[in-house]
Amino acid sequence: RWDRASVGTVEVVVCVYNAVEETMACLESLIGTTEIPHTVRVIDDGSEPLVAARLDAFAAARPHVTVIH
């Protein structure tokens, strides 16, 4: 079992190219199950505009999530 005092912040990088439903399920699972303090960087590799908009909306509600287009 980890101890919060001994663990720093973990940065998780998720690379995305379209596949919006799978990506959203991945991000929801990641956010819902990660106990260690973390940040999430989503790298959008030229997805369709709909995907980019969904990622931006997801990140807007979560200050520890950043989307890079």
Model pLDDT for residues 10-41, shown as the tens digit of each residue: 899 999 999 999 999 999 999 888 777 789 99
Q: Which has more confidence, 11 or 9? A: 11
* pLDDT above 60: residue 64: yes
CA distances from residue 28 to 1, 22, 32 in whole angstroms, order as listed: 23, 10, 6
CB 42 within 8 A of CB 62: no
